Amino acid sequence: MEKTIDENIQGTALQLENTSKNKRKLYIESYGCQMNFSDSEIVASILANEGFNTTQELNEADLVLVNTCSIREKAEQTVRKRLEKFNAVKKVNPNMKVGVLGCMAERLKSKFLEEEKIVDMVVGPDAYKDLPNLIQEIDQGRDAVNVILSKDETYGDVAPVRLNSNGVTAFVSITRGCDNMCTFCVVPFTRGRERSRNPHSIIAEVNDLWDRGFKEITLLGQNVDSYLWYGGGLKKDFDKASEIQKATAVNFSKLLELTALAQPKMRIRFSTSNPQDMTLDVIETMAKFHNICNYIHLPIQSGSNRILKAMNRLHTREEYFELIDNIKKIIPDCAISQDIIAGFPTETEEDHQDTLSLMEHVKYEYGFMFAYSERPGTPAAKKLPDDVPETVKKRRLQEIIAVQRKHAAYRTGQHVGKIEEVLIEGASKKSKDEWMGRNSQNIVVVFPKENYTVGDFVNVKVNDCTSGTLIGEAVGYSNNN
C-alpha cells in the first residue's frame, strides 16, 4: 500500500465530526498501513452509535484505542512505547480505558493483557462489530477480548466516518485479508483469509463520497488485483461457486471499470498490486479511463530469483520485467513504486546486486524499503535462520535507498516543462501562499494559490523540481472540473 511516513508507521490523533448527543470521549490512534487508517474510520462509525465523540485530547479521553501494526518488530515497539505514555495519563485519569485493535491484537491475543497491564480490551481486525459488547464488559470492570477472524466480514454495511479528512481524498476498502503467504509476512495470520466486498456497496460508497465533495479515492486491499466477487465467500472457494455465480463474477478490472463509469470525474487510485495477480486487463482498463490514475504500487521485495522463491513470491524477475514492459507499452507515463526488503534470510551479496540491477532497469518513481525483520510464526521464521548480520542488512538497505533517491530525482525531473493536471489537496507545508496537490503519477506539485481552491482540478505548468516535488504555476482549470 502506498503508505506512510517514518518506515510505514504513523500515529495520528483522529477527529470525528462530533454529534451533540454523544457524551463519552474516544481518542483513537492508528499505526501502519492505509488499511488500518481506513479501519479506524469504521471503528469510529461503530462507536459513534454507542455514544462516543472523538477527541484529540488524550488527557480527557474515556476510551483510548490504538490500532496497531505487526509488520516489523519496530512497528510493535512503537506501540509498546505509546502504551507507556497512556499508562502515565491513566495515573491522572484513572477511569480511562485502553483498547488495542489491529494486527498486534490479533497476533498476541489475550497475552496482551498479561504483558501490558494498561490494556483493558483486545480486538482483532474482524471483530469491530462486537465493540459495543466488549465496551460493556470493560465498563463493568472486566477485561474483554475478541480476536475471532471471519470468512465473510467486509464491513461493507458500515459507513466509515471520515477522520482527519482533507475533504478531497478518501480510502475505500475493497478486500480484507490475504491468501498469498509470502514467507516473511505476518498479514495472512493477523488479517485472515482473503475476501472481497460486494461491488454494489463499494460503488454506493464512492457515489456518496462524490456527493459530499470528495474528488479522489484509493481502493484498498492487501492484494487488490485478486479482488473477486461472486456473491460472497472466500476467494479460495471460487471453484465451488455455481455456473451463474462464475458467469456474473466481478474481478478487479471489472470493478475498476464500474467505479470509473459510476463517477467519471472522480480520480481513482488503488493499492496494493501483487505482480503475480496483476493482469493485462487491469492495465488496459487503466489506459481506457482518464480518471484512473497512472500510478501502480508494485512491490518486488527482491531482484533475485532464488530469494523471490524463498519468499514464496510466485513470479520471477523476468516475469516482473515483462509486466513492467507491458505497463510502459500500454501506459507510457505510468509511475511505478516498489517495496523492497534488504537482508532476507540467506541473501548473498550477489542476490543484493540483483536487487540493485533490477532497480536500475525499472527506475522507480518511489519506494518503501525495509530491513528484514523476523516475525514469529511466519514460514520464514519457522524454516529459515535470520542469518544476515544486522550491520550487513543496514548497509544493503542504505545502498538500496541511495539508488532509489537517484531514480526518484530522475523521474521527478522528467515532468519539468510539462503541463499536468493536479488535484488540489490543501495548503503547501512550506508556504501558506501555495497549494499542494498531486499529478496523476502521485507526485506532489506545489504552485501559487491565485484564485484556485481545495478540490479544484488545475492544469499546472511544471517549471522546476526538487528530488521529490514538482514546482509550477497554474495555467487554468482542467476540463475535469
Instruction: Give the span between the Cα atoms of 27 and 90, in whole angstroms.
Output: 13
Pattern of binders to ligand SAH over 243-282, x per CB under 6 A?
Answer: -----------------------------x----------
**Residue 78 binding ligand F3S, by CB under 6 A:** no
295, 442 contact by CB (below 8 A): yes
320, 347 contact by CB (below 8 A): no
**Residue 372 binding ligand SAH, by CB under 6 A:** yes
Q: Assign 243 to helix, strand or coil.
A: helix
Name the binder of 100 from ligand F3S, ligand SAH, none, CB < 5-8 A by kind: none
**Residue 32 binding ligand SAH, by CB under 6 A:** no
Amino acid at 280: L
Encode 298-334: b = buried (16+ Cβ within 10 Å), e = exposed.
Answer: bbbbbbbbebbebbebebebeebeebbeebeeebeeb
Instruction: Give the span between the Cα atoms of 243 and 81, in whole angstroms.
Output: 52
Q: Are strands 335-342 and 366-371 parallel, antiparallel or unpaired?
A: parallel
Binding residues for ligand F3S restricted to 219-248, rule: CB under 6 A: 222-223
In the complex, least distance from residue 128 CB atom to ligand SAH, rounded to whole angstroms: 19
In the complex, least distance from residue 77 CB atom to ligand F3S, rounded to whole angstroms: 20
110, 146 contact by CB (below 8 A): no
260, 268 contact by CB (below 8 A): yes
Stretch that binds ligand SAH, among 104-112, 323-331, 369-377, 444-452 (CB under 6 A): 369-377
Name the binder of 71 from ligand SAH, ligand F3S, none, CB < 5-8 A by kind: ligand SAH
423, 437 contact by CB (below 8 A): yes
CA 162 and chain centroid, separation? 15
Question: 352 phi and psi, to 5 degrees?
Answer: -60, -40
Name the binder of 131 from ligand F3S, ligand SAH, none, CB < 5-8 A by kind: none
Q: Between residues 187 and 358, which has the closer beta carbon with respect to ligand F3S?
A: 187
| E strands, 288-388, in order | 295-297, 335-342, 366-371
**Residue 341 binding ligand SAH, by CB under 6 A:** yes
266, 210 contact by CB (below 8 A): yes
Contacting residue, 187, 202, 283, 443, with ligand F3S by CB under 6 A: 187
* Rg value, the chain, Cα: 22
Helix (H) or strand (E) holding 460, with range, is strand 457-465
Question: 366 phi and psi, to 5 degrees?
Answer: -155, 160
Stretch that binds ligand F3S, among 103-111, 182-190, 241-249, 288-296 (CB under 6 A): 182-190
In the complex, least distance from residue 35 CB atom to ligand F3S, rounded to whole angstroms: 10
Contacting residue, 79, 89, 178, 403, with ligand F3S by CB under 6 A: 178
Q: Between residues 340 and 462, which has the closer beta carbon with respect to ligand F3S?
A: 340
In the complex, least distance from residue 149 CB atom to ligand SAH, rounded to whole angstroms: 17
**Residue 458 binding ligand F3S, by CB under 6 A:** no
Q: Between residues 394 and 430, which has the closer beta carbon with respect to ligand SAH?
A: 394
Stretch that binds ligand F3S, among 116-124, 176-184, 201-209, 210-218 (CB under 6 A): 176-184
C-alpha cell at 224: 487488490
Stretch that binds ligand F3S, among 110-118, 177-185, 210-218, 393-401 (CB under 6 A): 177-185
Residue numbers of the site for ligand SAH (CB under 6 A)? 1, 33, 71-72, 184-185, 187, 222-223, 272, 299, 301, 339, 341, 370, 372-373, 375
Residue numbers of the site for ligand F3S (CB under 6 A)? 178, 180-182, 185, 187-188, 222-223, 274
